[in-house]
Structures are given as structure tokens and as C-alpha cells.
Amino acid sequence: METMQSTLSFNSFNYARVASSTHCTQHIIKLHKREVQLKPAKSTPRKGPVNPARKTQNLNVEISPHRAVSAVRLMRIEFGGAFADLLNEQGKGSGENEMGYVERTLGFRTRDLDERDLRLVTDIVGGTIRWRKYLDYLILSLCHDEKNFGSMEPLLLQILRMGLYEILKLDMPPYAVLNENVRLAKVALRPGAGNMVNGILRKFVMLNDRDSLPSPKVEGDDRQQARALATIYSHPVWMVRRWTKSFGSQEAIKLMNWNNSVPCFSLRANTARGYTKVELISTLKLLEVPHEPSPHLEDFVRMKTGMQAVIQAGLLKQGLCSVQDESAGLVVSVVDPQPGESIIDCCAAPGGKTLFMASRLNGHGMVSAIDINEGRLRILKETAKSHGIDNVITTVHSDLREVSTTKLGKSDKVLLDAPCSGLGVLSKRADLRWNRRVEDMEQLKHLQDELFDSAARLVKPCGVLIYSTCSIDSEENEERVAAFLQRHPEFSIDPVNKYVPPSFVTEQGFFSSNPVKHSLDGAFAARLVLSGE
């Protein structure tokens, strides 16, 4: 687990993941060369000019492209060089980049990824990451030797995890999964690795067909029960214990089931470009993408599948819409941006809320986007231009704790979308659950308090400070607000019931979305008003 570095982006506590993916690939290659000599597929070297997109001399069309890409991406995620989806911040597919990683890591390429392959990679990678703990439990049970499991090559382990997941959760034909994973292990590693995959997967298929797979028993004291539930529902033990204590066992299980489900996505029509929800829905119908309008937000549309079709149609690249969860949109509703206002977004990048707030200004006013990550601010500026709202967004590359009021001036509204554990977005961020420790929570609370105090200095008299997270943990939410109000009695709570539907309003007047209750990402927001004295 990477440790927190305050000199990196505030938008995620998983800061070390901005490290270069090239470094990650080199690390994987070194690891593999140390444990096993890579054996690229046999092919005839090419002569003469080579297409830049096809520089490799090792082309193997017998290996399924989605399977090779999935295996390498799973390794990159585990070593901290990638996320679990195939979309970057601009919504572009990255199939060619992924095949480049395959070539540099495994020593060969396969045929290019098509649209179906991209969907399979997304399904396999996301699902395998979600179910990693349970899959490892099964693999260890099938190995009958903890030492062999612990010393298994990273690529071999990913191939086994994929195989079990495809059969168990995707209902793929066992014979096809077995044959293709064995072939990948033999080509990318060695014949003996293929034999091991063959033996373990065959044993798994036999037990699965007999409905006799091993399963932990939920019994004993609280700690033992938590360990069993953590394995069955594939979550870290500390999360299970925390949620069981906070919400009760049944609600904790519902939450884990939500986190393990295939996530829904929402699109926000960019009205700043004159593109309405009606037009977005009409386009989705033409693309044959299943969808439904959001019951909570005017400009949002929900969709379960079809993201590749949206990307290929150019809707994201042209700035006609954005991928944004409704929970994030409801936080902007709590901010309630109005034309003519000055707004500061304290930890802005990658900028989803910044863009939405700016679109609500109708060309009048300004959103100042502060972030410590200069590269992500650059992307935000480019996206703002494509969305037609760059005239009301200014970017500030700085640590919020070092920004003075003389540099920015005080604003009507200040949004602190604080770095947090991300415990409300584990459905979409499948990899996030394995990159959090219980020790992180204390460090995060200290950082949140520091940023809260810094953001308060940027608020005008009678202005509004909005504190938000994408967490469902009270220590990061209600407790941080209570601690802040003790330090700053000049602020008071402004109930959010005027800005969001009643089902999202807590007894204290805060906004809270709950994955189980609302079928949305978990999020929190408190609206605080500074006295005019």
C-alpha cells in the first residue's frame, strides 16, 4: 500500500498511482525475468518499413486479445500503474495503448482489440479485481499448499484468477476458458505454467459442476465472522468489521453486494453547449444504448451498458456530455451555483464538479479551480474548452494550504471536495478496496481538517462553504463537520433540504447518498454559512 504524500493530488488518497505507468511496466518485466525467462511466440521477423502502430516482430493471433490485455492490466493494477477501467479522463478508449503494454510486458502482440474485446476486458478486469479475495481463497484451496500459492508468479496468478472468474461469474464455457488460459500461460510463461493452469482449472470445473466448491463458515466471535464474510464477499476484513459495527451485519452484506455488482453510469448533457437531455436521449436511442432519465437531476441520464458506443460516437470528445454520477451532480445542487457568482473549487481535478458548476453560470461569473496536480489541471482546461465554458474557469496550480486570500480573493461560494477513503464509490472503483488500510483513516482525517480550515479562509462574509466527500464513513463526514464547527463558531449549518430531494437529507440537514438506499455512489455534503459580522 502506498503511503500518503501531501505533495500529490488532493482528489484521491491513492496519490502514488500517478506514478509513471512505464516504470510499472519495467517493474513487472524485471519481476518476470527474475522468476522465469519470457518466451515470446514464434514468428518470422519482418523486413522493410513497419507501420508505427505495428512495430512488433512477435505477433500471435492464437492468443485472445482481451485475455492477454486483461492479464497484463490486472498486473499493472496490482503494482499501482493502472485503474480498473479502459476509459481515460477524456473518455477515449485505450485499446492500442493496452496492446502496447502487452507487447512490452509479454514480448508479443495479438490481433487488435475490437469493441467486443474492449467490453470483455472491462468486465473481466473489473470483476476479477472485485472478487480477488474470494478467487484467491479458491485457488489456495485447489493448490492445497499455501507455500506454492505464495510463490506463484504474478502473471500465472492473474491467469488463474481470470479463469475462475470467467467460469464462475460470467458463465463462459469452461472448455473455452480452460483452453485459452492454458495457451496464454504456455506462450507468455512456459509449458509447465500451462500445465498448472490446466490442472487447477479442471479441478475447479469438476467441483463447480458438483456444486461442492469450498466456502468459509460464518461462525465464531465477531472477528472470525468478519474474516469469513470478508472472504465470501471479497472485501478487506477491516472494512467488514467497520461496516458491521456502523450499519449492522445485514446492511454490511447489502453494501458489499452492491460493491460487487456491475456499476451503472450516468451521463450529464452539457447544456452550456446548448445540448439538452432530450437531444442526448434521442442520440442514445439512435445508438441503441439502453438508458433511462435520472429521477433526481434534470440533465442526467442513466445507462448500464453502451459506453463504448457513446465514446465512438464522439459525444464525450465533442463536449456534448460528461460521464458523471448523480451523487456528484447532487453535490453541485447543494452548491447551487448562480450566474454572476465567484466560486472556488478547492481540490478540483479531474474537474467533473468544476465543469458542472461552470455550466450553471450561463457565462456570467467565475469558477477558480485549485489543484496541486498540474497535469490534471491541464486536462481540465482542455475539457473546459471542448465544453464551451473555458471563459468562466480559471485554474490555479497550488497546494490549497498555501493559497492566500490575497492571491485569490474571497469568494461567494467555496467547494471543498475533500480527499477521502472513497468508501462510497467501491462499485465503480473496483481496485480501490485493496488500496485502503484502516490506518489511512487517521491520516485522512488530519488532512481533511487542514484543508477544511484552509478553505474557510477563502469564504466571503455571508458566503457559503460546502464540504463534500465520496465516502459513507461518519468519521470523514459528520464528525469532520462537527470538529470544524467547534474550531469555527462563525460558521453555521445551512440545511440542504432546499437543494436536494428529501430522501437525501439527514436529520442534521446534510446531504447523504447511500449506495444501498439510493442505488447511487455514496457521497456526503454539508453546506455552511459564514456570518456577516
User: Which CATH number goes with the domain that contains 205?
Assistant: 1.10.940.10
User: Is 479 among the domain residues?
Assistant: yes
Q: Is residue 34 domain-shared with residue 170, that is, in the same domain?
A: yes
**Cell digits of residue 226:** 468478519
Residue with cell 486483461: 70
State yes or no: 82 annotated in a binding site: no
ω into 502 cis (within 30 of 0) = no
**Residue 325 in this model has a pLDDT that exceeds 80:** yes
**Residue 21 in this model has a pLDDT that exceeds 70:** no
Quick check: 320 and 270 in contact, CB under 8 A? yes
**Residue 212 in this model has a pLDDT that exceeds 70:** yes
**Average pLDDT rounded to a whole number, residues 315-319:** 94
**Cell digits of residue 275:** 445540448
Enumerate the active-site residues: 470
- Of 323, 347, 371, the one marking the end of a domain is 323
pLDDT of residue 58: 85
Mean pLDDT of the chain: 87
State yes or no: 93 annotated in a binding site: no
Q: Is residue 241 domain-shared with residue 289, that is, in the same domain?
A: no
CATH (domain of 273): 3.30.70.1170
CATH (domain of 467): 3.40.50.150
State yes or no: 349 annotated in a binding site: yes
pLDDT of residue 418: 97
Return the closest-CA partner of residue 481 out of 441, 523, 453, 461: 453
Chain segment 132-170, per-residue pLDDT in tens: 999 999 999 998 777 788 889 999 999 999 999 999 999
State yes or no: 399 annotated in a binding site: yes
pLDDT of residue 81: 65
For the four alpha carbons of 95, 96, 98 and 103, in that order, the dihedral sign comes to positive
User: Is 139 among the domain residues?
Assistant: yes
Question: Would you tell me the crossing angle of helices 174-188 and 154-168 to the nearest 10 degrees?
Answer: 170
**Residue 485 in this model has a pLDDT that exceeds 60:** yes
Q: Is residue 12 domain-shared with residue 137, that is, in the same domain?
A: yes
User: Is 358 among the domain residues?
Assistant: yes
pLDDT of residue 36: 36
**Average pLDDT rounded to a whole number, residues 47-69:** 68
Q: Is residue 142 domain-shared with residue 172, that is, in the same domain?
A: yes
Q: Is residue 183 domain-shared with residue 232, that is, in the same domain?
A: no
**Average pLDDT rounded to a whole number, residues 340-349:** 96
Q: Is residue 143 domain-shared with residue 163, that is, in the same domain?
A: yes
State yes or no: 347 annotated in a binding site: yes
State yes or no: 473 annotated in a binding site: no
pLDDT of residue 82: 64
What is the count of structural domains for the chain? 4
**Cell digits of residue 250:** 445485514
98 confidence band (pLDDT: 50, 70, 90): confident
Q: What's the pTM value of the predicted model, to 2 decimals? A: 0.86
pLDDT of residue 17: 32
CA atoms of 517 and 255, how far apart (whole Å): 10
Q: Is residue 287 domain-shared with residue 238, that is, in the same domain?
A: no
pLDDT of residue 517: 95
User: Is 217 among the domain residues?
Assistant: no
**Average pLDDT rounded to a whole number, residues 270-281:** 96
**Residue 7 in this model has a pLDDT that exceeds 70:** no
256 confidence band (pLDDT: 50, 70, 90): very high
Return the closest-CA partner of residue 522 out of 427, 449, 431, 425: 425
Weakest-pLDDT range from 5-19, 66-80, 410-424, 503-517: 5-19
State yes or no: 353 annotated in a binding site: yes
**Average pLDDT rounded to a whole number, residues 99-126:** 90
Q: Is residue 309 domain-shared with residue 364, that is, in the same domain?
A: no
pLDDT of residue 492: 98
User: Buried b / exposed e across 303-313, counting CB within 10 Å, b at 16+?
Assistant: beebbbbbbeb
Q: Is residue 409 domain-shared with residue 518, that is, in the same domain?
A: yes
Report the residue count for the chain: 533
CA atoms of 488 and 297, how far apart (whole Å): 33
State yes or no: 211 annotated in a binding site: no
**Residue 126 in this model has a pLDDT that exceeds 80:** yes
Q: What is the percentage of the chain residues whose pLDDT exceeds 90?
A: 75
- Torsion on CA atoms 420, 421, 423, 425, rounded to nearest 10: 60
Residues 6+ positions from 154 with CB-CB distance below 8 Å: 28, 31, 32, 75, 78, 79
Quick check: 58 and 106 in contact, CB under 8 A? no
**Average pLDDT rounded to a whole number, residues 101-119:** 90
Quick check: 426 and 255 in contact, CB under 8 A? no
**Residue 29 in this model has a pLDDT that exceeds 90:** no
User: Is 215 among the domain residues?
Assistant: no
User: Is 49 among the domain residues?
Assistant: yes
**Residue 482 in this model has a pLDDT that exceeds 80:** yes
Q: Is residue 429 domain-shared with residue 308, that is, in the same domain?
A: no
State yes or no: 417 annotated in a binding site: yes
94 confidence band (pLDDT: 50, 70, 90): low
Q: Is residue 418 domain-shared with residue 456, that is, in the same domain?
A: yes
41 confidence band (pLDDT: 50, 70, 90): very low
Return the closest-CA partner of residue 74 out of 114, 29, 128: 128
CA atoms of 40 and 110, how far apart (whole Å): 11
Chain segment 378-420, per-residue pLDDT in tens: 999 999 999 999 999 999 999 999 988 888 899 999 999 999 9
Q: Quickly list DSSP for 345-358.
A: ETT-TT-HHHHHHH
Quick check: 507 and 513 in contact, CB under 8 A? no
Strands (E), 257-304: 265-269, 292-293, 300-303
**Residue 5 in this model has a pLDDT that exceeds 50:** no
Residue 240 structural domain: 222-252
Q: Is residue 314 domain-shared with residue 362, that is, in the same domain?
A: no
State yes or no: 336 annotated in a binding site: no
User: Is 347 among the domain residues?
Assistant: yes
